[in-house]
A and B are shown apart, each in its own frame.
Chain A
Amino acid sequence: MLNRQGRPTQAASSVDHGRETFTGNRALQQIEPLIFEIGHHETTGVDIEKPAPFKSRLGKHARKDGIGLPGLSEPETMRHYVRLSQKNYGIDTGLFPLGSCTMKHNARLNEKMARLPGFSDVHPLQPVSTVPGALELMLELARYLMTLTGMPAVALSPKAGAHGEACGMMAIKAAIAAKGEGETRKVVLVPESAHGTNPATAALIGFEVRSVPARPDGTVAVKDVKALLGPDIAAIMLTNPNTCGIFEPQIVEIAAALHAAGAYFYCDGANFNAIVGKAKPGDLGVDAMHINLHKTFSTPHGGGGPGAGPVVLSSRLAPYAPVPFIHVEGGAARLVEHVSDAPAGNDPFGRMTAFHGQMGMYVRALAYMLSHGADGMKQASEDAVLSANYIRAGLSDLMSLPFPDHPSMHEALFDDEWLKGTGVTTLDFAKAMIDEGYHPMTVYFPLVVHGAMLIEPTESESKASLDLFIATLRDLAMAAKGNDKARFTAAPHHAPIRRLDETRAARQPILKWVKPEPIAAAAE
């Protein structure tokens, strides 16, 4: 007799499974079926009143077929998702040193503030007269972002980093078109070390992408940029601090060269968290830069979103900012929702998203900024940089540094030169870190470094935590060099699941649950 969980309900034979459990569970680590395997289409965990009989106005559009959605009662639902959560590693679980992703502490005060009904329970289209506090919050966030970056304007609405990149590049395209150069300036320069989103964004907006080589020290040289400049160049997309964790030393000269050639400087602000309160992009010649609120200002990553990607703009690009935006005149704030409604001097290029952007994220980011203050934000940047360099100093005698000539900013980059001849790959090393209770660092990015390992501790770690992390990585490095190959190649051994076959997933895509055929039917 099989029960709903698919296990026979009579006692199993007492064959010795080498102390394997009968269920496959391991104490707190539970094997959890899919909702489709335990739910039922008649079950519901929500009590909703049945309306009195009435005459439908759905006309011929009423659904005639079933949907095929199982339900679970409330206790079953709670248990299902709690068990799933126990298979996940989060910042609150331990050190999460993902370079370029900035997994810093997510303060619960920010969550509490985002859930105030005055923020969470307001509709984007209710009368503007009923939401002055929402406009106030957006203006305050904008003021902070403009002050931190030294830029005169900000477009708040982009919903993520890549969306912000698109917004900034659209503003650049609009500015070029306004100068009548839309037909000639069609090329965007992107360094080899860039995030994949940069070339993808440029292509999305109809630009041709041209690669800028990196110097052997991991930075971009102004002479290499100048060699590529011409009347066909629209912009450069440069990450600063760059994806190798280095502040681009020639950034000011690069910006000046672009401007002299009639082109624009887009800065990928993914790593802005290294320089908040230390340097202002506006002082470096940046024309547009997106800010990942989910990195720099600690709105939760949430397993992959939602993010938010406001874009700060120079005075050269400010007029082209998309709708919606808040226009302040004579002390009164007005929400501009349509291009046709833009005040004089503004020429918005269009609209990035329905409504007004990621309000829930604005609240969390502002709560972070208010809590830290100017002094705390500067200290956070310094601590992030200090911690990254501390890790680098603690490991550089065992692990190879591709770019030893520059101090690291908020992240330390290693390559796999030191693993040569061991039979252990960067991926193996990362999976062995899982067994030791750490989330791996970013691996195989940036692409300019072979077998890259990009470690970003953030400012959220204590010295004791950093010391233990360094000691663990030293132990692992010694083991990798000491012929303990099996520790790595079969890792992880202790995670909720062993190493997964990603090739198979791509070759035979199974992207949803399908009801298995009854055994009798399958046999025919």
Chain B
Amino acid sequence: MLAETMMNFRNQLQEQGIAFCYCGFMTEDLLLGIGNTIKRKLEHSEIDKKKSKSVFSIFVEQMQNVIRYSAERETQVDKAELSYGIVSVGESDGQVFVTCGNVIEANDVPRLKEGLDKIKSLDKKGLKALWKETLKGETPEGSKGAGVGFIDIARRAEGGIEFDFAEIDASRSFFTIKAFI
């Protein structure tokens, strides 16, 4: 029974073409470990070097997003924070994809949606312009990075990006972004 449950779970992931999936608390150490594993896996795959670099890069941006912005987090005794989220890498219809998901505050949904709608509507040239403008501008309030992560993801995702929100309750939603390379 135990083995069957786990096997079914694994099969479910495999049916979606998922080669790698992690769900749970995330830290920067974990990002480094998983990142290195993905890098090694890509080096020995048939994917070309440029694509491999894009996959690695998008993975880093997505996982750092979860670590920085997941609303589902625990503060440890030593003040270290653990963020909860899910990240996966897979391949379907000849395209590699990187997906991540995490809980966010309901208040943040409109702002995030607006930003991502804009990014999604831009072509290569428009993305470059927005990327530069953002790099040269002030770091947005509440941002622990450069506020440029999603633009970077869209620039490298040659197959485009998809994103979605699922309401959990009045105060929280689940956010997902999927990038196709």
A in complex with B: no
A residues near B, CB below 8 A?
Answer: none
B residues near A, CB below 8 A?
Answer: none
